[in-house]
Structure 1
Amino acid sequence: MNRALAFALGTALCVSPIALGASLEAAAQTKPATTYKAPRTAFGQPDISGFWSNSTLTPMTRQAKYGERLAYTEAEVKEMEASAEAEVEEGNKPTDPNAPAEAPARPANTRPEFAAAGGDVGGYNRGWLDPGHQVMRVRGEPRTSLITTKNGQPPPRKAAPAGAQAAAGGRAQGGGGMGSFDHPELRSLGERCVIGFGRNAGPPMFPNGFYNNNYHFVQSPDAVVITVEMNHDARIVRLNSKHRTDKVRPYFGDSIGWWEGDTLVVETTNLPRSQQFMGAWENLKVTERFTRVAKDRMHYAFTVEDPTVWDAPWGGEYEFSPLQGVIYEYACHEGNYALEGILAGARHQEKEAAAAKAAPAKAATKGD
Structure 2
Amino acid sequence: MMLTNNKKPGMFKARIVCAALIAAGASLAAQAQETSQLSQSPQLPRTTDGRPDLQGIWTNGTQTPLQRPERYGEQRALSAAEAERLQQNAQQREQQSFAPSDPDRAPPTDGNTAAAYNTFWLDRGTQVVNIDGEYRTSMIIDPPDGQIPFREGAPEQNLMEHWRDLHGDDAFLGPEMATIGERCLLFYDFRTSNSSAGPPMMPIIYNNNYQIVQTADYVVIMAEMMHDARIIRLHGEHLPPAVHKWMGDSVGRWEGDTLVVSTRNMHPQQSHYGSGPGLEVTERLRMVSPGEIVYSFTMNDPVAYTQPWTAEMVLYARAEGEQIYEYACHEGNYALPGILAGKRRQEQVQE
TM-score class, shorter-chain normalisation, is: 0.7 to 0.9
Alignment of 1:5-16 (within 5 A): none
Deviates more, 1:330-339 or 1:183-192: 183-192
Deviation at 1:274, TM superposition (A): 1.5
Deviation at 1:166, TM superposition (A): 4.2
Residue 262 in structure 1 maps to residue 257 in structure 2: yes
Q: What CA deviation, in whole Å up to 9, does each residue of 1:81-105 have, x standing for no partner? A: 22222322332332333344x2278
Q: What CA deviation, in whole Å up to 9, does each residue of 1:309-361 have, x standing for no partner? A: 33322211112110122211111111112223344456667889x69xxxxxx
Specify the alignment match of 1:128 in structure 2: 121
Alignment counterpart, residue 200 of structure 2, candidates 195, 200, 204:
204
Alignment of 1:306-317 (within 5 A): 306-317=301-312
Task: Tell me, in whole angstroms, the C-alpha distance in 2 between the residues paired with 1:289 and 1:343.
Answer: 41
Deviates more, 1:342-351 or 1:127-136: 342-351
Q: RMSD value over aligned CA atoms? A: 2.8
1:223/1:237 contact within 8 Å kept? yes
Deviation at 1:45, TM superposition (A): 2.5
Residue 57 in structure 1 maps to residue 52 in structure 2: no
Identity among equivalent pairs (%): 43
Specify the alignment match of 1:151 in structure 2: 145
Pair 1:347–1:97, CA change in 2 (3 A): farther
Deviates more, 1:339-348 or 1:273-282: 339-348
Deviates more, 1:301-310 or 1:320-329: 301-310
Return the letter of the residue paired with 2:197: A
In the comparison of the two structures, how many residue pairs are matched?
Answer: 301
Deviation at 1:158, TM superposition (A): 4.9
Residue 335 in structure 1 maps to residue 332 in structure 2: yes
Please identify the structure whose Cα radius of gyration is greater: 2
Specify the alignment match of 2:208 in structure 1: 213
Task: Tell me, in whole angstroms, the C-alpha distance in 2 between the residues paired with 1:82 and 1:271.
Answer: 39
Task: Tell me, in whole angstroms, the C-alpha distance in 2 between the residues paired with 1:277 and 1:153.
Answer: 15
Residue 168 in structure 1 maps to residue 197 in structure 2: no
Return the letter of the residue paired with 2:250: S
Q: What CA deviation, in whole Å up to 9, does each residue of 1:203-241 have, x standing for no partner? A: 111112x11111111111211000111111001000110
Structure 2: unaligned runs, 5 residues or longer: 1-39, 189-193
Task: Tell me, in whole angstroms, the C-alpha distance in 2 between the residues paired with 1:84 and 1:118.
Answer: 22
- SS of the aligned residue for 2:269 comes to helix
Q: Relative contact order (alpha carbons < 8 A, sep ≥ 6): 1 or 2 greater?
A: 1
TM-score for both structures, normalised by structure 2: 0.77
Return the letter of the residue paired with 1:134: Q
Alignment of 1:1-368 (within 5 A): 36-37=41-42, 38-100=44-106, 102-103=107-108, 118-120=113-115, 123-148=116-141, 149-160=143-154, 165-173=155-163, 180-197=171-188, 198-208=194-204, 210-245=205-240, 247-324=242-319, 325-344=322-341
Return the letter of the residue paired with 2:225: M
- SS of the aligned residue for 1:274 comes to coil
Deviation at 1:305, TM superposition (A): 1.1
Q: What CA deviation, in whole Å up to 9, does each residue of 1:235-279 have, x standing for no partner? A: 100011001116111111000011111111100010112112222
Deviation at 1:66, TM superposition (A): 1.1
Return the letter of the residue paired with 1:338: A
Task: Tell me, in whole angstroms, the C-alpha distance in 1 between the residues paired with 2:94 and 2:344.
Answer: 40
1:170/1:276 contact within 8 Å kept? no
- SS of the aligned residue for 1:127 comes to coil
Deviates more, 1:167-176 or 1:124-133: 167-176
- SS of the aligned residue for 2:259 comes to strand
- SS of the aligned residue for 1:126 comes to coil
Pair 1:270–1:159, CA change in 2 (3 A): same
Return the letter of the residue paired with 2:245: P
1:66/1:144 contact within 8 Å kept? yes
Structure 1: unaligned runs, 5 residues or longer: 1-34, 106-114, 356-368
2:164/2:171 contact within 8 Å kept? no
- SS of the aligned residue for 1:234 comes to strand
- SS of the aligned residue for 1:128 comes to coil
1:60/1:147 contact within 8 Å kept? yes
